[in-house]
Structure 1
């Protein structure tokens, strides 16, 4: 006897719910096991995930770039990186160069 389309959809829905519950249960078990091992051996994030930095860890060093261009009317400056500001966009940049 063949199941109807609606019966098969109901079976699929029930199976998807069972899969989701089993997955969540196994994830909880795995996380508990990992926490136990981390506590037992005193592991750090760096031990478990080498090469990664933590959110509070050392950030990338950002170096300031000196301005290359200055708007004589307003005194605004631009480094020459990124999108050009409106006061220099589309114009010859030579008169705006900071000596």
Structure 2
């Protein structure tokens, strides 16, 4: 039966072999991908799809705390300063 140190040495050798094989196969796959893209003229959007837009654009503030000037756009949870109060009292008049 192999000793602990012998097994660790074998493991290190296998880990190195695995990494080398991964690099060789990854490079081969990348070359195939590049060749296919060049052959068919794919664009980044073809390959990766169209990126979705990030967060929704900032909305103009709809409500203002007269004491602090803090504003709220009207979406999401109510701010603490508005809890238990009628939001219409704090609506910003346009």
Q: Same fold (TM over 0.5)?
A: yes
Which ranges of 4 or more aligned residues in structure 1 deviate by more than 6 Å? none
Q: Which residue of 2 aligns with 1:31?
A: 30
When you count helix as a share of all residues, which structure comes out higher? 2
Change (3 A) 1:8 1:60: closer
Note the 1:1-99 alignment, pairs <5 A: 2-49=1-48, 52-54=49-51, 59=53, 62-82=56-76, 88=81, 90=83, 92-94=85-87, 95-98=89-92
Alignment RMSD, CA only?
2.8
Q: TM-score, normalised by structure 1?
A: 0.68
Shift of 1:89: 5.3
- How many angstroms apart in 2 are the aligned matches of 1:66 and 1:79? 6
Pairs aligned (count): 92
Change (3 A) 1:9 1:74: closer
Kept in 2, the 8 Å contact 1:69–1:93? The answer is no
- Unaligned regions of 5+ residues in structure 2, if any? none
- Unaligned regions of 5+ residues in structure 1, if any? none
- How many angstroms apart in 2 are the aligned matches of 1:77 and 1:48? 42
Q: TM-score, normalised by structure 2?
A: 0.70
Q: Secondary structure at the match of 2:56?
A: coil
Change (3 A) 1:8 1:61: closer
